[in-house]
Amino acid sequence: MDSHSLALITTLLLVFSAAILGGVVAKLLKQPMVLGYIAAGILFGNVFPKITDAGFLNAIAQSGVTLLLFTLGVEFSFHRMKKLLRSIGWAAGFQIVLVIFLIFFLSLFLSISFLPSLFIAVAASLSSSAVIMKILSERGELDTGPGETMMTWSVIQDLGVVPIMIILPAVIAASSGASPSLGPLLVTMTVTIVKAVMALVVIVYLGRRGIPVFLTAVSGIGSREIFVLSTVGFAFLCALLTFVLGLSAALGAFIAGLLISETSQNHAIFAEVRPLRDLFAVVFFVSLGMGLPVSIFFSSGWILLTLAAAVIAVKFIVVSGLMRFLGYHRKTAFLAAVGLIPMSEFGFIIANQGLTLGAITSADYSLIVALTFLTILLSAPLTSRGQGLYYWFAKRFGWKSSEAALEKEELPFRDHIVICGYGRVGKYIGRALEMAGVPFVVVDYNNATIAHLKEKGIPVVYGDPADRDVLDWAQVDFAKAIIIAIPDRHTQELIIGNAQTLNRNIKIICRTHHEEDQKDLKSLGVDSVVQPEFEAAISIVERLLSSYGVSDEDIAGKILRLKIEHGAG
């Protein structure tokens, strides 16, 4: 075995070892996996700097980036993109521009040169969809108002990578002279945009005409391997086309994904490509860490801390301010702004493009990677504890629910049900009560939910259900029961305490996302604790056993045993 082959094997062994170690540690510490991959990469890259093949590692990482953007395109459709852009598209776009402007001038103030300042600002303007989705899914808050807003906002930011990748090369080309001026910059950008439009038109036209026929023919062969190879080959073909036209290869892969998302085979393709994408993406994140010298944290420590603090403050203020302007509740604006703080993994892609084009140095690239790592490290605990932070600030600054649109006269409710949260669980409860003719009132702070309920004539109070004044307005003191359909534990405890203060005899029914929370919630005075996952399992068991001829009496006994073991018996 020659030395080159040995270096390739050693490099892969180090990458996978770092990924396993970083992933396990991040899982144990309940941190985002991306954070663990980068941290382990930093450790292994600095301990074993001489036995890795940097060129081979970079080639695999670039393939991972291409597949990452391809699968991102497959996950979306043109129809979904239009819906997102109509809701908060302009605000998310304006946030990108405003954050770029503010961080760019701050970087210049810190004596960072023009192009590196621009790349730092662009990377800082984006938020990490991977980190956001990981934390929200772990907490069971993907379907909440703040959760949906965060994901929508981050998706629009991801789509913003496309024009950024088109414009940045033009800016680099125009500013490569001794004294960059506005004229050459506009000319270069115009030429680049024209080429981009031409590439888009060609790819979209040929794709919409030929992709369905091509995929049908390939799937008709009946070979899984040929199907995967053909779709990945199409992604790299589009990437090559955009690269030849002077644009980003990743841009072509993203467009290829969008075209395939419109076909009937999109789900099958995503399922086949995703494992390959995940493997290459892990290599990409580990390689980022392996290329990051620890010395950057010492040589540029104060610059890193200053930039990280600025990114956290600027993004929080800009996002929360824009959401308040759009009419969102203060709590939604706060939680979404905190969640959107961590810089995106796409910032690595943009920085890597700048390094490839010679716009930034290796030191500048390391600074951007270190800054992204630092913002994720600092913001992950904030996002996980966002609810507690909000109520701490609300108490400290005396935030009241005067914005809850409360009327002057009391609501005419007596012996009714109060539903806190009208998401996936709450809406079915409300529908059942509506059909049964049982009076109820909904308490929520999701703007879209409030508007929808008012159109249907359903009684609703706009405000945070954890606020005692809001519960008082919903006439909890005269209600028979209160249903807490909100999964966040901190909010649940506040609602339980305030409801019992207003009405000592009220019946409290609470949902929970975590099985271990049942005992604690019951100790707080909750009459019934419902875990949706357990109830779904019970329903499946009941249907399954009946199909095998098990008697109703035996099924009831087994279900009772399960409930006793679960703590709900």
Spatial separation of the C-alpha atoms in residues 420 and 486, rounded to whole Å: 7
Q: Is 416 helix (H, G, I), strand (E, B) or coil?
A: coil
- Residues 445/329, Cβ–Cβ less than 8 Å: yes
- CB–CB of 379/386 below 8 Å? no
* Angstrom distance (rounded) from CA 109 to CA 103: 10
Going along the chain from its start, the domains and CATH numbers come out as 3-390 (1.20.1530.20), 402-530 (3.40.50.720)
Residue range 1-37, pLDDT digits in tens: 566 667 777 877 888 888 889 888 888 887 777 778 8
What is the β-pairing status of strands 481-484 and 417-420?
Answer: parallel
Q: Residue 228 and residue 272: Cα distance in Å, rounded?
A: 7
Question: Look-up: residue for tokens 């700097």?
Answer: 49
Instruction: Report helix, strand and coil shares of the chain as percent, to nearest 5.
Output: 75, 5, 20
pLDDT of 403 reads 45
Helix ranges (DSSP H) in 175-265: 182-221, 224-244, 249-261
State residue 5's pLDDT score: 67
Beta-carbon contacts of 465 under 8 Å, excluding residues fewer than 6 positions away, are 420, 421, 443, 444, 445, 471, 484, 486, 491, 495
Chain segment 54-102, per-residue pLDDT in tens: 677 777 767 766 777 777 677 665 565 566 567 788 888 899 999 999 9
Q: Which amino acid is at 458?
A: I
In this predicted structure, what is the pLDDT of residue 130?
65
Helix (H) or strand (E) holding 441: strand 440-444
Instruction: Tell me how far apart the alpha carbons of residues 123 and 305 are, in angstroms, rounded to a whole number.
Output: 16
Q: How far apart are CA 467 and CA 338, in angstroms?
A: 20
DSSP secondary-structure letter at 460? E
> In 3D, which of 131, 71, 79 has the Cα closest to residue 271?
71
Position 178 scores a pLDDT of 46
Q: Which of 260, 165, 244, 236 is nearest to 198 (CA)?
A: 244
Report the alpha-carbon distance of residue 424 to residue 535 in Å, rounded: 14
| pLDDT at position 184 | 61
Contact assessment for residue 34 and residue 345, using Cβ atoms and an 8 Å cutoff: yes
How many other CB atoms are found less than 10 A from the CB of residue 222? Answer: 8
| Whole-number pLDDT of residue 311 | 92
Q: How many CA atoms lie within 13 A of 349 on its CB side?
A: 23
Beta bridge partners of 481: 417, 507
Please compute, for residue 251, the number of CA atoms within 13 A of its CA located in the half-sphere on the CB side: 28
3-state DSSP assignment of residue 357: coil
Instruction: Count CB-CB contacts under 10 A for residue 2.
Output: 6
Predicted pLDDT of residue 405: 45
Pairing of strands 460-462, 481-484: unpaired
Using the Cα atoms of residue 447, residue 449, residue 453 and residue 456 in order, give the sign of their dihedral: positive
Positions in the chain short of pLDDT 50: 178-179, 402-408
DSSP result, 298-312: HHTHHHHHHHHHHHH
DSSP symbol at 488: -
State the burial class of residue 477 (Cβ atoms within 10 Å of its Cβ: 0-12, 13-18, 19+): middle
